[in-house]
Amino acid sequence: MDISSGEDSDISESEMEEYEEKYYEKLKNGNYKIKVSNEKYTCPFCPKKKKQDFLYKDLLQHASGVGKSNSDKRSAREKANHLALFKYLEHDLRGTVGSSSSSAAAAAEVEDPLSGCDHDEKIVWPWTGVVVNIPTQKLEDGRSVGGSGSKLRDELIRRGFNPLRVHPLWNYRGHSGTAVVEFRKDWPGLHNALSFEKAYEADHHGKKDWFANNGVKEGLYAWVARADDYKSSTIIGEHLRKIGDLKTVSELMEEEARKQDRLVTNLTNIIETKNKHIQEMEQRCSETSKSLEALMEEKDNLSQAYNEEIKKIQVSARDHFQRIFSDHEKLKSQLESHKKDLELRGVELEKREALNESERKKLAEELEENAVQNSALHLAALEQKRADENVMKLAEDQKRQKEELHNRIIQLEKKLDQKQALELEIEQLRGSLNVIRHMGDEDDIEVLEKVDASLKELREKEAELEDLEALNQTLIVRERKSNDELQDARKELINGLKEISTRSQIGVKRMGELDSKPFLEAMKRRYNEELAEERASEVCSLWEEYLKDPDWHPFKRIKLEGGEEYQEVIDDEDEKLRDLTDQMGIEAYKSVTSAIKEINEYNPSGRYIISELWNYGEGRKATLKEGVTFLLKLWDNAKRKRGMT
């Protein structure tokens, strides 16, 4: 149904809202035909327009553009009609739009955003629109001012064109009345730019309308910037040449295809490199696993042999002690029984003393024998005491074995020095032998005798060296076992001290742990306390990841004075450390360098925090003896406190 001829007279601006509600009710009642098919719609208020079929989205943009137009060419009645149409499409027709049509339109937009675009036409890229005839006002000094770009951008966003930003163009006279609209660089951005251009063309405010000589131009005119705009000598052309370039859609598609091919090639190369690296790592892991299995098997065999030997020694000692105690018990019972017999005999002899002299003499002799036997008993008791002492000595043998192991370690160091001296001496003898061989002829008797003596001495030294090698290997094995035991004891001591929360001279230090206090202090100088804690936590987490990164090694090697040795020191020219000092200060720099030094010293391969027994009083690694002494002291103090309570 078309608009009746009786309604051709225009209305005032104040009547627009009432008129809009009136036609909105007519649209709801079905007085006008809008939907042509499932996908096509028509505008009932533009019957003379060449383009009669619209998609739902295009019709919505058309109704919004005409209804909100600032052009004086549009009558108030026409604007009210289109505002009513926009309201009807938004509130009443949107829910009835077929899912097939909307999804098809969306799919078409996603699948081919370049429909209707000449692929060989040069367009300014990034996609840019041109807006002219923006209203301006002149100030007293002659300069012009106009509306902000954000206001126009918001208007374009409401109309569905999704621009990124709008830049008004200014010259020495102020606002030029023109602006450029920037769209996204992708294909949907091009689609939005073309929709923006079509909407203004549909409103007779496109590029051709602007350059047409048909009288005074009112309202905004807009189009998509192309080659003629880019090459123009106007302020628009100057700005376009600064921000963009001329490209065709075909060129961009080819460039995008080349980038994609290059990306695929790079990713393929990276994947191949990673696969090779994985294969190498798997091979290394396999070799390491085999080596570890062999070492573990050897360790198990040595441990089993050692345990069996210790078990045999313990069984033998226990049997020996048992025999000694059994013999002592038997001897003790015999002595007790004999002593009682002698005491009874003495009493009996004393009773018979008064009988006669002969018996008295006999009694004296028996008493004498009794004394002798008592003396023998005393000697037997002394022997028993000596046997008990021998048992105690046997019990202390294991303690002496540990001391002997320590002495063997000292001997190992001495033997190593002897071995090095002996190797040097052998090399000197070999050099002397070569010198002697070149001193004279082979027939020179004196030279031959010196050669024989040197050869004999050389063989003796080599034999002595072989003996030292064998002894050295034996001592190395024993030292390794001792070191393993000491390391196990040190680990147990560290685990025990972890449970003790005390601020004392000896304790457990986490080597490589980052101190967060300097970062918090630095952030407090910039932010409030709550935000400072959050930012400090983020920065600390970032630097903890740097410390774990094996590729970051901020050290350099310097040659020590007076020698050929080198030492690793912190590289102050490291980019990360310089940025840290500039942003966080010297205290944060000290915290990071202290942590990386500890990691480089205690765990350079794993790069994770480890616990170490530490002497806080002297600022160094604590010895095992210091740790044990400190732990015993704590134990004595705790026992004394329990006794007092």
Q: Which two tokens stand for residue 489?
A: 């004891």
Q: Is residue 266 part of a domain?
A: no
Reported as type and span, the H/E element at residue 132 is: strand 128-132
591 vs 643, higher pLDDT: 591
Find tokens 């027709």 and name the residue: 93
Q: What's the pLDDT tens digit per position in 22-47?
A: 888 888 887 887 877 777 788 888 87
Q: Do residue 59 and residue 184 come from a single domain?
A: no
Q: Do residue 89 and residue 127 come from a single domain?
A: no
Q: Is residue 564 part of a domain?
A: yes
The mean pLDDT of 183-204, rounded to a whole number, is: 89
Q: What's the pLDDT tens digit per position in 238-250?
A: 999 998 888 888 8
pLDDT of residue 390: 45
Task: Among 243, 259, 287, give the residue marking a domain's end.
Answer: 243
Is 35 in contact with 59 (CB distance < 8 Å)?
A: no
pLDDT of residue 408: 61
Q: Do residue 79 and residue 159 come from a single domain?
A: no
Q: Is residue 630 part of a domain?
A: yes
Q: How confident is the model at residue 429 (pLDDT cuts 50, 70, 90)?
A: low
Reported as type and span, the H/E element at residue 361 is: helix 357-395
Q: Do residue 68 and residue 138 come from a single domain?
A: no
pLDDT of residue 464: 77
Q: Has residue 223 got a pLDDT over 90?
A: yes
Is 335 in contact with 384 (CB distance < 8 Å)?
A: no
Q: Give the separation between CA 365 and CA 334, rounded to whole angstroms.
A: 23
Q: Has residue 389 got a pLDDT over 90?
A: no
Q: Do residue 156 and residue 30 come from a single domain?
A: no
Q: Is residue 158 part of a domain?
A: yes
54 vs 391, higher pLDDT: 54
pLDDT of residue 433: 64
Is 395 in contact with 353 (CB distance < 8 Å)?
A: no
pLDDT of residue 106: 41
Q: Which two tokens stand for residue 428?
A: 């000197």
Q: Is residue 18 part of a domain?
A: yes
Q: Which of 292-301, 399-408, 476-485, 486-495 has the lowest mean pLDDT?
A: 399-408
Q: Do residue 503 and residue 624 come from a single domain?
A: yes
CB contact set of 327 (below 8 Å; sequence gap of 6+): none
Q: What's the pLDDT tens digit per position in 484-520?
A: 777 777 777 777 776 664 556 777 788 888 888 999 9
* Number of structural domains found in the chain: 3
pLDDT of residue 392: 47
Q: Do residue 87 and residue 140 come from a single domain?
A: no
Q: Do residue 128 and residue 204 come from a single domain?
A: yes
Omega of the bond leading into 163 within 30 degrees of 0 (cis): no
Share of the chain above pLDDT 70, in %: 76
CB contact set of 32 (below 8 Å; sequence gap of 6+): 1, 26, 44
Q: Do residue 69 and residue 144 come from a single domain?
A: no
Q: Is residue 254 part of a domain?
A: no
Q: Has residue 214 got a pLDDT over 50?
A: yes
Q: Do residue 86 and residue 145 come from a single domain?
A: no
Q: Give the separation between CA 241 and CA 237, rounded to whole angstroms.
A: 6
Q: Do residue 72 and residue 137 come from a single domain?
A: no
Q: Is residue 389 part of a domain?
A: no
Q: Give the separation between CA 511 and CA 595, rounded to whole angstroms.
A: 7
Is 31 in contact with 88 (CB distance < 8 Å)?
A: no
The mean pLDDT of 180-185, rounded to a whole number, is: 92
Q: Do residue 128 and residue 66 come from a single domain?
A: no
Q: Is residue 375 part of a domain?
A: no
Q: Has residue 348 got a pLDDT over 70?
A: yes
Q: What's the pLDDT tens digit per position in 62-83?
A: 888 777 766 666 778 888 888 8
Range of the domain at 25: 14-93
Task: Among 194, 226, 243, give the residue marking a domain's end.
Answer: 243
Task: Among 78, 93, 108, give the residue marking a domain's end.
Answer: 93
Q: Is the CA virtual torsion 289, 294, 299, 300 positive or negative?
A: positive
